[in-house]
Structure 1
Amino acid sequence: MPALITWWTQDLGELSPRADPVAVAAAGSDLLRRWAEPQRRYHSARHLVELFWALEELEDAHEIDAEGATVGRVAAWLHDAVYDPQARHGANEAASAGLARSLLTRLHVHDQVSAAVEAVIRMTDGHDGDDGASLTRCFHDADLWILSAPDVRFDDYCAQVREEYAHVPDVAYRTARAGILVDFVRRDRLYLTAHGQQEWDEPARANLHRELDRLG
């Protein structure tokens, strides 16, 4: 994954020109190691890359500027840096947010940027926050892009999530998973950006209804 490390290094260089390049590279290597942990099926480097692509699409649609997209990519690296499928609800997001704040502080990233990254990571616990900032809205939508993915990729995603929760009995999994997806279906706005609402909402709702039918 040399390209991923290159993107990380470039983005950190923009956010913190005085950061030690050796420390930046070491942090990137540690993050990449985290994204390759064996318990991950969906929350892997593929999810990270898809999030990058979604952010790029939103940037091209003028939903976020270049600087915001850079912050978004750094947040993407960190938002699932801690991922344990057996952790209590919200624990992974809280731990990832704490790791982000600590790491970015060590790399001399401006406190305002570190706080913004931490905030969007915490927002992913439920995806129900909207502070009106373009970064928040774009990160929210990019992280949920997968719901609008082509049928084959969406079905693969559903299977990968089930694999991550293989420790959960089938009936309990179906009930819990359906509850999460129904919450998304019932939202007036599944996506917060105009582009997401226009381009991703319809296929996402079709995918969600299809998965709910499978879950019974």
Structure 2
Amino acid sequence: MTSDAHREKSLRARWHATTAAAGAAADRDPAPYADRLLTAWAEPQRKYHTTAHLADVLARIDVLAEAADDPAAVELAAVELAAWFHDAVYRPDRSENEERSAVLAERALPELGIDDARTAEVARLVRLTVTHDPAPGDTNGEVLCDADLAVLAGAPAAYAAYAAAVRAEYGFVPDEAFRAGRAAVLRQLLDLPRLFRTPYGAAHWEAPARANLAAELAELSPPQSRGE
């Protein structure tokens, strides 16, 4: 079995387990929803926002949930469902991806018999990934946002692969415009007082993420601004 096939099989099993834990009705088949979501995550315009990213976010949710001071404070089913939906709609040339992804969750989850309160929480979490700025005490939001941003803390080679994949998704943007836009995003991230809100994220991911962001920003800067 190829790595892609193994990943898809694992994701399908996880989807079934997560929807059951979230309260899906026993007479509703979650498989067609997995089909549609995995098809969306495999669309050809995606180079970073792929099933590999989905699997990574889910794995990091596991790490953060296990490391939480109070694991019971994390509504794991809602956070995991939000991970599934947070980039379910993704068009690099559009700005309403998160909103459309949240609306998709609001439509799909009740069809599975998942109650209104949990559906609303999943949609709220999806919309939170616009800013990655959970309010103090928003444990669910902290876990999802930290899991989503943990790619920034990868080893240099992994971070370089991530940055290249992001550039590939924006292949339609000319180099100069992309450098300016990407540099603005990196500066916004570096200006945040904290990238990670969970204790685990702050301890393990904050420093390497900032180092990676600063290094990429330096590479994007014109030679004269780097003193060359």
Q: If the length of structure 2 is used for normalisation, what is the TM-score?
A: 0.89
Q: How far does residue 21 in structure 1 lie from its aligned partner after superposition? A: 4.2
| Counterpart residue number, 1:77 | 84
Task: From the CA coordinates, give the structure whose radius of gyration is larger.
Answer: 2
> Compared with structure 1, are the counterparts of its residues 189 and 71 closer, same or farther at alpha carbon in structure 2 (3 Å cutoff)?
same
- Alpha carbons 1:58, 1:64 under 8 Å: kept: no
Please say if 1:210 is aligned against 2:215: yes
| Cα distance per residue 1:17-59 (max 9 Å; x no partner) | 424342x110011101111100000000110011011111101
- Larger CA deviation: 31-40 vs 118-127: 118-127
| Cα distance per residue 1:102-159 (max 9 Å; x no partner) | 1011111111111111111111112234252210111111110000111111110000
| CA distance in 1 between partners of 2:129 and 2:70 (Å) | 18
Task: Give the residue type in structure 1 aligned to 2:83.
Answer: A
Instruction: Say how many residue pairs are matched.
Output: 213
| CA distance in 1 between partners of 2:108 and 2:88 (Å) | 11
In the TM superposition, 1:3-18 aligns within 5 A as: 3-18=10-25
| CA distance in 2 between partners of 1:107 and 1:173 (Å) | 41
Task: Give the residue type in structure 2 aligned to 1:134.
Answer: T
Superposition CA RMSD, Å? 1.4
How high is the sequence identity, in percent, across the aligned residues? 37
> Compared with structure 1, are the counterparts of its residues 64 and 82 closer, same or farther at alpha carbon in structure 2 (3 Å cutoff)?
farther
Task: Give the residue type in structure 1 aligned to 2:200.
Answer: H
Residue of structure 1 aligned with 2:159, choices 154, 159, 177:
154
| Counterpart residue number, 1:38 | 44
Please say if 1:187 is aligned against 2:187: no
Task: Give the residue type in structure 1 aligned to 2:143.
Answer: C
In the TM superposition, 1:30-69 aligns within 5 A as: 30-62=36-68, 65=71, 68-69=75-76
Task: Give the residue type in structure 2 aligned to 1:20.
Answer: D
| CA distance in 2 between partners of 1:165 and 1:21 (Å) | 38
- Alpha carbons 1:64, 1:138 under 8 Å: kept: no
> Compared with structure 1, are the counterparts of its residues 131 and 100 closer, same or farther at alpha carbon in structure 2 (3 Å cutoff)?
farther
Q: Structure 2: any 5+ residue segments left out of the alignment?
A: 1-7, 222-228
Residue of structure 1 aligned with 2:172, choices 167, 171, 190:
167
Q: If the length of structure 1 is used for normalisation, what is the TM-score?
A: 0.94
- Alpha carbons 2:90, 2:97 under 8 Å: kept: yes
Residue of structure 1 aligned with 2:115, choices 110, 116, 132:
110
- Alpha carbons 1:63, 1:193 under 8 Å: kept: no
- Alpha carbons 2:128, 2:134 under 8 Å: kept: yes
- Alpha carbons 1:63, 1:195 under 8 Å: kept: no
> Compared with structure 1, are the counterparts of its residues 131 and 122 closer, same or farther at alpha carbon in structure 2 (3 Å cutoff)?
farther
| CA distance in 2 between partners of 1:145 and 1:20 (Å) | 37
